[in-house]
Amino acid sequence: MTNQFQLPRHSRMCSSEFLFGVATSSYQIEGAVKEGGRCDSIWDTFCRVPGKVDNGDNGDIACDHYHLWEQDIEMVHSLGVDAYRMSIAWPRILPEEDAVNVKGLSFYEQIIDKCHALGMKVYVTLYHWDLPQYLEDRGGWLNRETAYKFAHYADVVSRYFGDKIDVYTTLNEPFVSAFLGYRWGVHAPGICGESEGFLASHHLMLAHGLAMPILRKNAPGAKHGVVFNATPFYAERERDIGAAEYKEAENFHWFIDPVLKGNYPKVVLDREFEHRPMILEGDLDIISAPVDYIGINYYSRGVVRYDENGDIESVPQTDAEHTYIGWEIYPQGLTDLLLRLKTRYSNLPPIYITENGAAGNDQCVDGAVDDEQRQHYFQTHLLAVDQAIEQGVNVQGYFAWSLMDNFEWAFGYAQRFGMVHVDYHTQKRTLKQSAIAYRNMLLARSEENKNG
């Protein structure tokens, strides 16, 4: 592979106005779960349940970013990126319901200040799945009150930081929080129930809507939005088109429609009639508060068909290339997804690709990590973004997932998504070839823009 990713000449992505970054999340990298006044999150609890996380792994130490944050931010800067996307751990800020933990705020302030001192913008996610356990003890996202607790948390953070945070994200991937956590039980808190999943989803979206005016008031100079994971679906046969359309409606229209259209997709409400969440009058007005951007996290596609009973089933693409985690590599899906969003939403705000990346079985050999498949993945997906831009989609930035190997939720540490290899025994960081290619692309772009 080349040691530099290539963008088409004259692409808008070559402009200094297009933003490139890397991304992480708090529970996946920080560790120090008992330090700095932090309380337990639902993931601390979930990890202690035998069989829930591969190899019995947990986030107790993770990448020890809590102690190594300064060298990590220097490493981010060395890649030549414009921005760093991170999340703030709710359990560090409000370890008790009404007790603001200044140590937690100070921890993140030093990271934000360091990023700004190095010339990088800071994109902060307020909720990347680490709900305080004391709120889960009262029902978590099944309790409508949690949406209001989130609004209070957003108020605490945004009053403290204001415009010092360049871009605020309310939620990361509410689909995962709601459906994997409360519908299918494979993520924390491990609840299984159709009704529970849809109820949690509504309360998450309500939390987003309640937070938006608070964020705008406290940080009027910042941008504010929300991040969705989105998987485009394809029909195996023409008669399966309805199956693909439904899967997209359930997978991401269910979460994006209430924000951009002020309603939930009828096809899902009808099919899940007995599991409809309680939606109070005015809820959708709250959820559809204007946003400055939406983030899209893309990894792969899905192919589906109707089975003999009329149910929708996935069709494995056995002849296609897959990553180590088993996800098909399909860059065309990213272009298709972005074009479908442009078609569906006449009021589509600017888009950032807030996550995109691949898991590999990466080995550090003689101080180097040759992650050829990941290099190919990034190269083809960067071109896929460019194709969407050429066809009129307003994409303004791209964040690679992830900065470094980390705790990959229910997969533990077996799946490595990082551009930087982490030796979990020594905490040594090693730039993989993909990180070097990303850095070289950004350095070349910077030089070209300097030279006109």
- Long-range CB contact pairs, 140-144, < 8 A, 24+: 140/42, 140/182, 140/189, 140/200, 141/177, 141/178, 141/181, 141/182, 141/199, 141/200, 141/203, 141/204, 142/182, 142/191, 142/196, 142/199, 142/200, 142/203, 143/203, 144/203, 144/206
The tens digit of pLDDT for each residue in 218-250 reads: 999 999 999 999 999 999 999 999 999 999 999
Q: Give the pLDDT of residue 2.
A: 62
The tens digit of pLDDT for each residue in 10-36 reads: 999 999 999 999 999 999 999 999 999
Using a 10 angstrom Cβ sphere, with 0-12 exposed, 13-18 middle and 19 or more buried, the burial of residue 279 is middle
Cα angle 130-135-140, degrees, rounded to a multiple of 5: 80
The tens digit of pLDDT for each residue in 267-291 reads: 999 999 999 999 999 999 999 999 9
- Check: CB of residue 333 under 8 Å from CB of residue 298: yes
Largest CA distance in the chain: 63
Q: What is the enclosing helix (H) or strand (E) of 303?
A: strand 302-306
Q: Give the pLDDT of residue 98.
A: 87
238 a known binding residue? no
264 a known binding residue? no
Query: CATH code for 12-450?
Result: 3.20.20.80
The tens digit of pLDDT for each residue in 119-154 reads: 999 999 999 999 999 999 999 999 999 999 999 999
Task: Please list the active-site residues.
Answer: 173, 355
What value does the mean pLDDT take over residues 78-84? 98
What value does the mean pLDDT take over residues 81-102? 97
Can you read off the two tokens belonging to residue 66?
């809590």
172 a known binding residue? yes
Domain positions in the chain: 12-450
Q: Taking 80 as the threshold, does the pLDDT of residue 180 lie above it?
A: yes
Half-sphere exposure of 195 (CA within 13 A, CB side): 6
The tens digit of pLDDT for each residue in 44-79 reads: 999 999 999 999 999 999 999 999 999 999 999 999
- Distance, C-alpha 221 to centroid of its chain: 23
Q: Taking 70 as the threshold, does the pLDDT of residue 1 lie above it?
A: no
Q: Give the pLDDT of residue 451.
A: 86
**How many beta carbons lie within 10 A of that of residue 376, not counting itself?**
16
